[in-house]
Amino acid sequence: MSRKKIALIGGGQIGGNLALIAAQKELGDIVISDIPKAEGMIKGKALDLMQLRPHDGYDVNIEGSSDPAIISGADVVIITAGVPRKPGMDREDLLGINLKIIKDVANNVKTHAPEAFVIVISNPLDAMVYAFYKLSGFPKNQVVGMAGALDSARFRTFIAMETGFSVQDVTCMVLGGHGDSMVPLTRLAAVGGIPVSELIPEERLNAIVERVRFAGGEIVKLFGNGSAYYAPAQSAIEMAESYLRDKKRVIPCASYCEGEFGVDGYFIGVPSVIGSGGVERILEFTLTEEEKAELNATLEKVKKTVAETGL
C-alpha cells in the first residue's frame, strides 16, 4: 500500500506544527506549499523535520516548495495560508486579506488535488471555509473547517485545570461560529461522565465559559504578534487522522449545514462524524431554548461575515 499524501498550504506557525505532528503519527508523506517569499523557510522546515526522523524513526518524506503543483494528488489538504491576528484585532479583521489568499488557494487545490479532503484553518474560519467551498465547487462532505475541535480542547483544558482531574476524562462540546459568540455547552460537559455542574460552582463555570470564548485572544495578547499554533495544529491533525484511518470520530467541526440545528447553507460548528467519506454525518440533537438562542446569535454573526465575502 502506498503512503498517503498530506498537503499543507501555508507553512508558517501552524503549518510547521502540522508537519511535525503528521510526521510523528506517520499519517503519510507531507508537502508544504507556501508563497515564493517563504520558500527558503518551508524548505528549511522540511529539511529540519527530515533530520528529526532518525530520533523518532518515522518513515515519511517531508518536502517544501512554492510551486503549487507540489500538492498534486494529495489525500488531505490543510489550509493555514493567510495572516494571523495581532492584539486588538478580531478574526473578522482578517477577512479582506485572507479572502484573496483563499481564492488563490482554492484555484490551486481544484487544479492539483481535486479528490482531497480539505480542512480549512485560516480565519475568519466560518467565512473562509465557506469561501473555499463556493470557489472550489467541491462536495460538502469534502470540505470542513477546524475550530470546534480546538475550542472544545480549550474548554476541556480549563475544566481539568479547575478540578485538578485528568484532562483525558473531561469531555466537552463547543458549537457555533469560531468567534466570541461561540457556544460552549456546559450542560454536556462532564468529567468521567459526571456533569460538571455537580463538580464546579456555577459562577466558576460561567467564568470558564467566558475564558473559552476569548481563549484565542488571550494567547494573541500574550504573544503580541501572532496567534496560537500548537493546539490548533493538533486539533486539525485529529480530523485528518479520523479521515485517513476511517475512525468515524465525533468532532465538533465547521460543517456545511442543510437544515441541521435550523442552519441552512452555512458552515458552522456542529458535531460531525469524520471517516473515509469525509464529513459523513452531522449528529443533530435537541438543544434547550437557551442553547438555541445562543446558536442563533452566533449564526447571525457568521452570516454577516459570510455576506462580506460577496460569495
Using CB under 6 A as the criterion, which residues of the chain lie in contact with ligand A3D when the complex forms?
9-15, 33-35, 38, 80-85, 94, 98, 101, 104-105, 121-123, 125, 146-147, 150, 178, 226-229, 232
Task: Decide: 213 and 161 in contact? Cβ < 8 Å.
Answer: no
Q: How many CB atoms lie within 10 A of CB 59?
A: 10
Q: Kindly give, in sequence order, each residue whose CB lies less than 8 Å from that of residue 182, ignoring residues fewer than 6 positions away.
A: 147, 151, 174, 175, 176, 212, 213, 269, 298
Q: Give the largest Cα separation in the chain, rounded.
A: 55
Residue closer to ligand A3D by CB (options 219, 273) is 219
Identified catalytic residue from 4, 154, 178, 213: 178
Residue closer to ligand A3D by CB (options 10, 278) is 10
Residue closer to ligand A3D by CB (options 131, 200) is 131
- Least Å distance, CB 199 to ligand A3D, is 27
Tell me the C-alpha distance between 164 and 150, whole Å. Answer: 20
- Is the CA virtual torsion 263, 118, 223, 309 positive or negative? negative
- Least Å distance, CB 147 to ligand A3D, is 4
Q: Kindly give, in sequence order, each residue whose CB lies less than 8 Å from that of residue 185, ignoring residues fewer than 6 positions away.
A: 172, 173, 174, 175, 291
Residue closer to ligand A3D by CB (options 1, 222) is 222
Tell me the C-alpha distance between 143 and 120, whole Å. Answer: 8
3-state secondary structure 231-275: HHHHHHHHHHHHHHCCCCEEEEEEEEEECHHHCEEEEEEEEEEEE
What are the cell numbers at 120?
Answer: 480549512
- Least Å distance, CB 254 to ligand A3D, is 8
Residue closer to ligand A3D by CB (options 187, 249) is 249
The SS3 of residue 31 is strand
- Least Å distance, CB 34 to ligand A3D, is 4
The SS3 of residue 117 is strand
Beta-bridge partners for 251: 272
Residue closer to ligand A3D by CB (options 200, 229) is 229
* Active-site residue flag, 55: no
User: Cα angle at 129 between 124 and 133, to 5 degrees?
Assistant: 150
- Least Å distance, CB 54 to ligand A3D, is 27
- Least Å distance, CB 49 to ligand A3D, is 15
Could you give the residue numbers annotated as active site? Answer: 178
